[in-house]
């Protein structure tokens, strides 16, 4: 292993999303385990930050509200206030996690100039969709390393929606990626597009959450179960009636209770078995202790695998989950309707672990290569 390096991570660490904060935690943890001194830098794209700020904001204030839209406006206001108590609790647990586990208590927001002035040997950009103009309201130069030109920058598992670069953005990518010494992305489709565009070596690497094993997440878990008795855990990254139907069917077949985790409480999404205020630690603990997990989430699938749970991923189209399940030989865990659930079918995690270890090693090799290039 090379000498210890000071590493600054730039990602969407402030998004109140289980996958976003846990991928940042995982990358920071992995780099520290590799012998470096890694920290998440508190640079926040203003549009990402606005989405999660502790201010009640409703998007329609900037719209021209025509009489035909009044009904929708009233429903939006009703929904916001209906789940306000749960949203406030969820906001606090996410902010506490970000402050303690990602920022090590230093919550001062950094400007790009302050990021550049940090005493870092190398900056790691990613993971997540940091190159998605839809999320950052235009391409954010920070996530392309457009600062501190004398310092090394690499990307790790960076991504864009659908793994595709629009034609009008290709000149921007070609110019800005020149500042990165090593480039890795999340999807092979994006990797090939960037190879064609830049003529450079582009690596495809594993999501940071999969760089760690179950034992690495133990410090985040509750010691005791949050729910007594056996249960099926359903996690909705987006609302989907089929996920709900599959989860109910699984609970019925297993003869146990159903617990559902949603991001937002509304008059149509509420019930005694539904949770709306869980933070990352609760999310992981519910998965750890579940009899089965049913989800439409990539990271819900990831942690089901890491915790070696019986699970089903329910979706019509999801390239990320398809790639993960295919690589690990777990394609049968993808279903599209409740009739496909088979509670007696076991999962051969011994076989999938071999594939996961191979992919982890490839991804760690990229990090070693990119970070060691600091000495070039």
pLDDT in tens, 320-341: 999 999 999 999 999 999 999 9
pTM listed for this prediction: 0.92
pLDDT in tens, 281-335: 999 999 999 999 999 999 999 999 999 999 999 999 998 999 999 999 999 999 9
* pLDDT value, residue 319: 86
Name, in order, each residue with C-beta under 8 angstroms of 8's C-beta and a sequence gap of 6 or more: 38, 39, 40, 41, 115, 118, 120, 122, 123, 124
Mean per-residue pLDDT over the chain, rounded: 92
pLDDT in tens, 142-170: 999 999 999 999 999 999 988 889 999 99
Segment 207-220 shows an average pLDDT of 97
Looking at the chain, the domain(s) classified CATH 3.40.50.2000 span 214-345
Q: Locate 362 and state its tokens.
A: 């490839």
Work out the angle at residue 284's Cα, subtended by the Cα atoms of residues 11 and 308, and round it to the nearest 5 degrees. Answer: 110
Q: Which residue has the higher pLDDT, 57 or 160?
A: 160
Q: Cα-flanking dihedrals φ and ψ of residue 335, to 5°?
A: -130, 165
Confidence of residue 101 (pLDDT cuts 50, 70, 90): very high
Residue 199 has pLDDT above 70, yes or no: yes
Residue 14 has pLDDT above 80, yes or no: yes
Looking at the chain, the domain(s) classified CATH 3.40.50.11930 span 6-51+96-212+358-375
- The kind and range of the H/E element at 261 are strand 257-261
Percent of the chain having pLDDT more than 70?
Answer: 92
Confidence of residue 68 (pLDDT cuts 50, 70, 90): low
Residue 60 has pLDDT above 70, yes or no: no
Which CATH architecture best describes the domain 6-51+96-212+358-375? Answer: 3-Layer(aba) Sandwich (3.40)
Helices 349-372 and 298-306 sit at what angle, rounded to 10 degrees?
110
CATH superfamily of the domain spanning 214-345: Glycogen Phosphorylase B; (3.40.50.2000)
Per DSSP (E only), the strands in 11-162 are 37-40, 122-125, 152-155
Confidence of residue 194 (pLDDT cuts 50, 70, 90): very high
Which DSSP state fits 151?
S
Residue 64 has pLDDT above 80, yes or no: no
SS3 call for 231 = strand
């Amino acid at each position: 292993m090379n000498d210890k390096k000071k590493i600054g991570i730039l990602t969407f660490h402030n998004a109140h999303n289980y996958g976003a904060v846990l991928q940042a935690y995982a990358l920071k943890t992995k780099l520290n385990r590799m012998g470096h001194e890694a920290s998440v830098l508190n640079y926040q794209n203003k549009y990402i930050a606005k989405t999660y700020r502790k201010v009640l904001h409703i998007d329609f204030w900037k719209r021209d509200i025509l009489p035909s839209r009044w009904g929708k406006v009233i429903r939006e206001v009703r929904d916001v206030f209906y789940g306000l108590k749960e949203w406030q609790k969820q906001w606090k647990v996410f902010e506490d996690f970000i402050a303690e586990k990602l920022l090590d208590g230093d919550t001062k927001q950094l400007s790009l100039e302050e990021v550049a002035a940090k005493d870092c040997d190398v900056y790691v950009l990613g993971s997540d969709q940091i190159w998605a103009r839809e999320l950052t309201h235009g391409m954010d130069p920070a996530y392309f390393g457009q600062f501190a030109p004398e310092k090394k920058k690499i990307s790790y598992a960076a991504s864009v929606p659908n793994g595709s670069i629009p034609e009008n953005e290709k000149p921007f990518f070609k110019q800005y990626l020149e500042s990165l010494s090593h480039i890795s992305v999340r999807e092979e489709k994006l990797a090939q597009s960037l190879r064609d565009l830049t003529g450079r070596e582009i690596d495809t690497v594993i999501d940071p959450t999969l760089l760690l094993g179950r034992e690495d997440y133990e410090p985040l878990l509750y010691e005791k179960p949050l729910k007594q008795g056996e249960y099926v855990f359903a996690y909705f990254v987006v609302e989907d009636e089929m996920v709900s139907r599959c989860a109910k069917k699984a609970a019925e077949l297993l003869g146990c209770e159903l617990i559902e985790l949603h991001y937002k409480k509304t008059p149509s999404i509420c019930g005694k078995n539904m949770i709306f205020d869980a933070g990352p630690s609760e999310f992981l603990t519910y998965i750890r202790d579940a009899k089965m997990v049913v989800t439409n989430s990539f990271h819900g699938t990831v942690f089901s695998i890491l915790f070696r749970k019986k699970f089903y991923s329910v979706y019509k189209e999801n390239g990320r989950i398809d790639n993960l399940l295919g690589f690990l030989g777990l394609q049968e865990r993808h279903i599209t309707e409740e009739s496909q659930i088979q509670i007696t079918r076991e999962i051969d995690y011994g076989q999938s672990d071999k594939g996961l270890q191979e992919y982890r090693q490839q991804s760690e090799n990229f990090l070693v290569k990119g970070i060691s290039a600091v000495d070039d």
